[in-house]
Chains A and B, each alone.
Chain A
Amino acid sequence: MAESPFEWLRAKSDFPEWDTDLAEQTLLNQHPAPFRPERALQSLVVLQQQFGQVSPPMQTWLASKSGVTVADLRSLVSFYQFLEPTPPPRYHLRFANNIIEQINGVNHLVEQARATLHDADCKVETTSCIGLSDHPIAALINGHPITRLNRSNINELCQLIRAGKSLQEWPRRWFAVDNTIHHPGPLTSYPYARGQGLALATQQGQQWVLNHMDASGLRGLGGAGFPTAVKWRLCAEQADPVKYITCNADEGEPGTFKDRFYLTVQTDQVIEGMAIAAVAVGASKGYLYLRGEYLYLVKHIEAVLQQWRERGQLGAGFDIELQLGAGAYVCGEESAMLESLAGKRGIPTSKPPFPGQKGLFGKPTVVNNVETLVAATYILQQGSSAFRLVGTEHSPGSRLHSVSGDCRRPGLYELPQGAPVQDLLALCGAEDAHCVQSGGPSGALLLRHQFQTPLDFESPGRGGSVMVFNRDRSLWDITRNFTRFFQHESCGFCTPCRAGTVAMNHLLDRYEQPTTARQKAQTRADMIELTQLMQHTSHCGLGKTAGLPVLNFLNQGAGHE
């Protein structure tokens, strides 16, 4: 299991004074060539950890070492939410403000904390979902997750902060992240033998692996459901001898935490999946892009990677490097992730060319979600027909659903593709569910009469994340929460999303005002039109789907305002 999470965490008293020798040493400990321009973002992330900030003098120093201009470093700091140019407070408390925390009363906790701590050396903020909706209310304290906050223990927490207690003195149970699988399935319970799938892949060779993956019918579990074999083959066919495998562990879709589980509990299988993909396409380097919110998993993942290297299963022909995001949901979009991996702002690039043709550093690149890679390992170990035993013809296999909200047992459930929503709700104890949001804010809102909808790629209920709401929840609040999320996370590249997400929130403000029926109808029409505008003209998936919550509300929410 993960080592003490505190290794990556410090309260301010532990942050050393800015010191260039220490900075250089720290960076060199992390990477042999930390001053290559494409490492700029990673170096900022590491410095942020070491010194609690990336102040202007630190940026100037890094600029002089790396040749990346201060202005470019500043532009990175201004893009990534977790990079702070100002001195750190002793305590930095960031509450997740996903709808699940909201229905559990996070706004109240934020107010309470701000009132109690107004004169303490503590900054109280909110941040987008941190992948802990199964333990609401969750927050990050100096980057470390705190779970199950409520109206009573928040007082205790505030007292500890007021008393200046270091995090090591805080109750351990507050930091507990539970990764129980409530309903296991093939991917989470088969007798995994470390390295066996990779050995088979190496022995059988590239074409065999590609054919094998083809036969499995595996589709990407990161959202889009794109056939994995097709993606791998496109990359394999490129003439360029340099290719990359990347694992998308950005898991930013609010309400999703399945990758957190895989990265913690089935880490070997994620790594093995990447190594198998490397055999399939002929890559010698892999990158695992971990969201900054999962900083507490770094030590563990690094340790497992090291074990693989020590056994000689990584390192010789193929090695994997872990890189961190820094608080930007858009970096889960594959081309934005590749930009971020290359040390830039996470702005999605134009397709074509697709990553398989021209990806990281302009080289053919495979981008796969964590769970897709776990499934690839399963397929190599258990066979493609074993994989196909469950699921549907077009969405074979099974997948893990992150369940949160109004149910007795929030958490992780593995179900065959195509299982109806109601099966999941029965398992998690959500008999009085009134509606669910399936697939995250950009997914589908399903009302009670639609609970027979299958969770697979052919139907609106894609699954992956399922947020459950009972009759007392307001669809309006859900819509507002999601729409604010998209505004906050828009990368700002293209007009319809950068300005459209703001305009949409203005329209929601207007919709809330008491007006005449005619004006209300007009606002409604404007909202629908703006949703369509964003859907059709946005540059990437974020903007294309950012209006869907509003559309869902208008289609489904009538009478529940």
Chain B
Amino acid sequence: MSDQPQFQLDGQPIPFQPGDTIMQAAHRAGVYIPHLCFHPQFRPHGSCRLCVVNMQGKTVSACTQPASIDLEVHSETTELRQSRLRLIQLLFAEGNHFCPSCETSGNCQLQALAYDLGMTHYHYDPFYPTRIPDGSHPELFIDRDRCIQCDLCGRASEQADHKAIYLLAGRGQHTHVAFRSDDGELGSTQAQAEDRASHVCPVGCILPKSGNYPDIAGARLYDQIPIHAQGNHRRDDGGTHDD
């Protein structure tokens, strides 16, 4: 432990292993850096940008920045919290999020981070995009209105399920989650409810068709303990998958 190299995160020493990113090391040390597209089991992506930290006068994403010795990294600054709040607000504004009726409400990482960062309103004009849902699969439902284009489903499907079913398509604001089947529908793929990819979405885009709204308000994942205190979880991961 003591001969392990370290860097400083908000003044706290964080040991790291060769090849670690700042995020991986912080995560192992139990220090929370806000994130949505990062998942410790899958390769880093770097798209949500919530994990931006300051380092040597630059702002970088902690999930893609290699850790190195004696770095001084700052994460919980007023400016970065404000940047993260705005990024969250952009994610809300660009999709169609109606939390009160959403199956994932209370268990949603986007919503939990919004609360954490003190979001009270959209700030940006909502885009009201037209996004087409996919209900072709017998057990799974895709509500693209809530997708944040994080590609966690794509990475889980590839790295854990070895099925490579999910991918991102389109460009710019038209970027959307797609499925590797001839007709482009999820129902025509080999996707199964038990797949890892069916249980990785940080928001309410990939949903089971049955058993929704299982918990009453107050008993949901993020009702009692804020996300910064328990980390990014889903109600179906038994509190383990993010370790």
Contacts and interface: CB of A to CB of B under 8 A. Distances in A.
Contact of B172 (A69, A352, A490, A510): A490
Given A75-B167, A78-B169, A487-B173, A498 B178 contact: no
B47 A491 contact: no
B86 A494 contact: no
A503 B47 contact: no
A399 to B, nearest CB: 28
A501 B169 CA distance: 19
Contact of A503 (B83, B90, B170): B90
Interface residues of A, number: 40
A71 B127 CA distance: 27
A182 interface: no
A537 B48 CA distance: 10
B34 to A, nearest CB: 12
B66 interface: yes
Interface residues of B, number: 39
- Chain A: interface secondary structure? helix
B83 A533 contact: yes
B167 A503 contact: no
Most buried by B among A69, A70, A494, A526: A494
A490 B49 contact: no
B194 interface: no
B194 to A, nearest CB: 22
Contacts of B171: 78-79, 81, 328, 345, 490-492
Contact of B49 (A502, A510, A539): A539
Given A79-B169, A494-B47, A350 B64 contact: yes
A71 B179 contact: yes
B105 interface: no
A494 B175 contact: no
Given A78-B174, A492-B170, A499 B94 contact: yes
B52 to A, nearest CB: 5
Nearest to A492: B175
B173 A490 contact: yes
A347 to B, nearest CB: 8
Contact of B91 (A495, A536, A538): A495
Interface in B4-54: 44, 46-50, 52
B121 to A, nearest CB: 13
A128 to B, nearest CB: 12
Interface string A470-495: 00000000000000000111111111
B160 interface: no
B170 A499 contact: no
A490 B174 CA distance: 10
B87 interface: yes
B90 A499 contact: yes
A510 B50 CA distance: 27
Interface in A43-82: 60, 69-72, 74-75, 78-79, 81
A74 B66 contact: no
B52 A537 contact: yes
B49 A498 contact: no
A288 interface: no
Given A537-B59, A537-B83, A502 B173 contact: yes
Contacts of B149: 492-493, 498
B188 to A, nearest CB: 10
Interface in B135-193: 148-149, 167-175, 178-182, 184
Given A60-B182, A499-B173, A506-B127, 11 more contacts: A70-B181, A72-B167, A78-B169, A79-B169, A490-B171, A491-B171, A492-B174, A494-B49, A496-B90, A503-B90, A533-B83
Closest 7 interchain pairs by CB?
A492-B175, A75-B169, A499-B90, A499-B94, A350-B64, A71-B180, A536-B59
